Amino acid sequence: LVPPRVKIVEVGPRDGLQNEPVSVSTEDKIKLVQKLAQAGCRYIEAGSFVSPKWVPSMANSFQTMTKLREWKEKQGPEYEPLVLSCLVPNLAGLHQAIQVKAGEIAVFGSASETFSNKNINCSIDESLERFALVVAEANTARIPVRAYLSCVIGCPYQGRIPPLAVAQMAEKLLALGCHELSLGDTIGVGTPTTTIALLKELQHVLGNDVDKLAVHFHDTHGQALANILVSLESGIATVDASVAGLGGCPYAPGASGNVATEDVVYMLNGLGVETGIDLDKLVEAGDFICEVLDRPSRSRAGTAISAI
Ligand code: HMG
Ligand code: MG
């Protein structure tokens, strides 16, 4: 049994493009987000207010978000529900998000101590202190906060991460006041067995707060769709995906892109699950960005549909 409707969070313009070797112009990022919105995506992570020294490909996020905001305001009521979000690691990032009137921000922590240090240059405890300041100020500014939790199954530096450690960190992130928590299989090592074990532990520790969980699978070992299916069967109704399977994480060596949105939507259509997304238009958005990047799509469904 799977939920009748699933919320897709499109992370391609951020998680995807942050790790592509070709850096994408502001104009092309805007076009990509517009095409995704036209395909029916209503939650799009469009940028990242992190240090441009750490992630140069996200340096044009301020311009991209500003122009997208202006474009959104000129659209009709069907675009009102469109949420354009961005990653924020600290107060400096939040202040940029407030200036561009981001519809949502996302803080990002880790269940692995080493990954936390490599990715955001601080310990897990320090990150929670930083996020507490960010969430409090975002609440005052009335900006909803999503939280990511990385390395929920495995870490590129520490190996396997115990489900209990993940659940305890999830509890702390939610207690800060985040409305949604996305579970990141950052290096795509999960299988249905480890995914189910993790979700069971989370159900046990979080109780009713499991409704706030989303899943975020990178497809490094080709397990993402299977992991998503078992997550849906466990009651998860929010799924992150990246058009054309773009991306990876600059601080997770060996991580490949997220599961391709086209593949997720194709599977959900087959299951009779509503997403609000038009698959053909989504494939066009994927083809567009692959042309910009001059590389083939990593979406199997996208490639098959384009070939017809
Ligand atoms: P730091 O060096 O400890 O920061 O980095 P700092 O506060 O000491 O500042 C150092 C410099 O960065 C200063 O500039 C600051 O102004 C600047 P300088 O004086 O040297 O010219 N700075 C900033 N600039 C712009 N925006 C900001 C900002 N903050 C400081 N917000 C920091 C700490 C967190 C900034 C850094 O480590 C960083 O930017 N890390 C981001 C890494 C990242 O983006 N990783 C990828 C995203 S996470 C991911 O992909 C996983 C996910 O998809 C889920 C999953 O798959 O698991 C979400
Ligand atoms: Mg990711």
pLDDT tens column, 77-97: 999 999 999 999 999 999 999
Q: Is the pLDDT of residue 61 over 80?
A: yes
Closest CA to 195 of 157, 168, 166, 238: 166
Dist. CA 267–CA 270, nearest whole Å: 5
pLDDT, residue 249, reads: 66
Q: Is the pLDDT of residue 126 over 90?
A: yes
pTM, rounded to two decimals: 0.97
Dist. CA 244–CA 251, nearest whole Å: 21
CA of 302 to the centre of ligand 2 (A): 20
Our answer on whether the CB atom of 217 is closer than 6 Å to any ligand 1 atom is no
pLDDT tens column, 156-204: 999 999 999 999 999 999 999 999 999 999 999 999 999 999 999 999 9
Our answer on whether the CB atom of 90 is closer than 6 Å to any ligand 1 atom is yes
For residue 220 the two structure tokens come to: 């490094």
pLDDT, residue 211, reads: 97
pLDDT, residue 300, reads: 97
Grade residue 20 by pLDDT with cuts at 50, 70 and 90: confident
**Percent of residues, the chain, with pLDDT higher than 90:** 95
Dist. CA 280–CA 38, nearest whole Å: 11
What's the average model confidence in pLDDT over 11-33? 94
The closest ligand to the CA of 116 turns out to be 1
CA of 279 to the centre of ligand 2 (A): 22
What's the average model confidence in pLDDT over 97-122? 98
Distance, first Cα to last Cα, the chain: 32
Main-chain dihedrals φ then ψ at residue 83, nearest 5 degrees: -105, 120
User: What is the interface pTM, i.e. ipTM, of the complex?
Assistant: 0.98
pLDDT, residue 253, reads: 76
pLDDT, residue 19, reads: 86
Q: What is the largest CA-CA distance in the chain?
A: 52
Our answer on whether the CB atom of 54 is closer than 6 Å to any ligand 1 atom is yes
pLDDT, residue 256, reads: 87
pLDDT tens column, 232-246: 999 999 999 999 999
pLDDT, residue 192, reads: 98
pLDDT, residue 223, reads: 98
Q: Is the pLDDT of residue 147 over 90?
A: yes
- CB within 8 A of 236, min separation 6: which ones? 3, 199, 213, 214, 215
Our answer on whether the CB atom of 89 is closer than 6 Å to any ligand 1 atom is yes
Other C-beta atoms lying within 10 Å of the C-beta of residue 234: 18
SS3 readout for the chain: CCCCECEEEECHHHHHHHHCCCCCCHHHHHHHHHHHHHCCCCEEEEEECCCCCCCHHHCCHHHHHHHHHHHHHHCCHHHCCCEEEEECCCHHHHHHHHHCCCCEEEEEEECCHHHHHHHHCCCHHHHHHHHHHHHHHHHHCCCCEEEEEECCCEECCCEECCHHHHHHHHHHHHHCCCCEEEEEECCCCCCHHHHHHHHHHHHHHHHHHHHHEEEEEECCCCCHHHHHHHHHHCCCCEEEEEHHHCCCCCCCCCCCCECEHHHHHHHHHHHCCECCCCHHHHHHHHHHHHHHHCCCCCCHHHHHHHHC
Atom 56, ligand 1: residue with shortest CA distance:
186
Confirm whether 178 is a catalytic residue.
no
Atom 24, ligand 1: residue with shortest CA distance:
51
Closest CA to 154 of 207, 205, 216, 111: 111
CA of 107 to the centre of ligand 1 (A): 11
Q: What's the chain's average pLDDT?
A: 96
Grade residue 250 by pLDDT with cuts at 50, 70 and 90: low
pLDDT tens column, 254-304: 778 999 999 999 999 999 999 999 999 999 999 999 999 999 999 999 999
Q: Is the pLDDT of residue 68 over 90?
A: yes
Q: Is the pLDDT of residue 247 over 90?
A: no
Our answer on whether the CB atom of 17 is closer than 6 Å to any ligand 1 atom is no
For residue 248 the two structure tokens come to: 């990876």
